[in-house]
Amino acid sequence: MLSGARRRTGGRTHGETATGATRLPLGLLDEVPVAVVALRGDDVVFANAAAHRLGIVRGTFLVVAELRQTARLVRRDGLRREITLTLPSAQLSPTRIPVRAEVFLLGGDEVGAVVEDQTEASRVEAVRRDFVANVGHEVKTPVGAIALLAEALKEARDDPVAVARFVDRIAVETQRLSRLVQELLDLSRLQGGEPLPEMTVIGVDAVVNEVVERMSPMADAKQVRLVVDGESGLAVLGDAGQLAMALANLIDNAISYSAPGSRVALTAKCREDVVELVVADQGVGIAHVDLVRVFERFYRVDPARSRETGGTGLGLAIVKHVMNNHGGEVTVWSTPGVGSTFTLRLPEAAAADGGGQPG
């Protein structure tokens, strides 16, 4: 797409040398994601497609006052300038687009500007800031509790009953802290975008059996019946450790958010080359407004309850990343007071083999 602002200037196209020897294919600049604008005086003599998309140029007019102002300063003293500003969104929305602009002298009275949309960079930075703040907060709680308990322990050293109680509570807080650290490490490994350690054909039965064996003591302690049914002999392509971790996280939640006497069912099935592992509980359920957020890091519907169960708010974020790494997905259905069903979907090994490795 060629912009309306690009025009012949002084008998030659912009980018052509005085001898006409070098002809810069200006159409190339329509392919770059940053906005590129050239001004002669206050007139726009070149603008690429991104400049039009960002809405900073109309005809031969540079519509952003700050940019016009900066271009004049650059033309006057020849010094390159970098500015950050926000632009109104093209879609009549109240949100503004953060941009970073570099303005520099091209020669004579011509000034160039390169303007970069910072929306994605700002979003990533905000997520990073939130994450660091959340980690700090999550670590502070058990560490603060351990400090207080150690203090109380010193006071109570002559009372063996109190000492035993405080030591038990220190053990609980230490476990919480070590689980948090372990899950943070798992998450950072999964998010690293590293290729999976080993994509092998995995028997689903073996993963299910291992996870059920691991989670049975927890189900028994909570008097929740853990039942397995569905098809056997299914296979997927992936990393057995990661898949077991994802499934265990779902079963851990299903048990944690269920009342004694209820049932958690794990069903394996295959539909059109897709293996489904379904974890269904009859627990507290999740309200519709929270459903879309439960896969976010540190999101908890009821923080007090989650703390009681030793939850970190990272379990489902880990599940989501494991599924992404396997070319699969995790979905949830839930009704408060009725229960929740989480479904892991993965390409069946034979189908995945044919279509190349996922992840």
CA distance 236 to 257: 29
Select 17 or 216, whichever has its Cβ closest to ligand ADP: 216
Angle (deg, nearest 10), helices 240-256 and 315-325: 150
Residue 317: CB minimum distance to ligand ADP, A: 6
- The span from the CA of 137 to the CA of 143, in Å, is 10
CA 36, CA 24: separation in Å to the nearest integer? 14
**Contact flags string 251-270 toward ligand ADP, x per CB under 6 A:** --xx--x-------------
Cα 35 to Cα 39: distance, rounded to the nearest angstrom: 13
**Number of residues near ligand ADP (by CB under 6 A):** 23
Minimum CB distance to ligand ADP smaller for 216 or for 335: 335
SS3 87: strand
Cβ nearer to ligand ADP, comparing 313 with 358: 313
Overall size of the chain counted in residues: 359
Q: Is 226 in the site for ligand ADP (CB under 6 A)?
A: no
Q: Which CB, 121 or 185, lies closer to ligand ADP?
A: 185
Question: Per rule CB under 6 A, is residue 315 in the interface with ligand ADP?
Answer: yes
Strands (E), 67-142: 81-88, 96-107, 110-117
If you search the block for the tokens 């189900």, which residue do you land on? 219
109 alpha carbon, distance to own chain's centre? 46
Residue 313 binds ligand ADP, judged by CB under 6 A: yes
47: Cβ contacts below 8 Å, ≥ 6 apart: 3, 5, 6, 35, 36, 37, 38, 56, 57
Contact region with ligand ADP (CB under 6 A), list: 49-57, 166-174, 192-200, 312-320: 312-320
- Of the candidate spans 45-53, 104-112, 194-202, 306-314, the one that interacts with ligand ADP by CB under 6 A turns out to be 306-314
The alpha carbon of residue 156 and the mean position of all alpha carbons in its chain are separated, in whole angstroms, by: 46
Kindly tell me which residue out of 283, 327, 347, 358 binds ligand ADP, with binding defined by CB under 6 A. Answer: 283
Look up residue 346 and give its two tokens.
Answer: 């993965």
Residue of 5, 306, 322, 346 that binds ligand ADP (CB under 6 A): 306
Q: Does 142 bind ligand ADP (CB under 6 A)?
A: no
- Among 300, 320, 326, 345, interactor with ligand ADP by CB under 6 A: 300
Positions that interact with ligand ADP (CB under 6 A): 249, 253-254, 257, 281, 283-286, 294, 299-302, 306, 311-317, 340
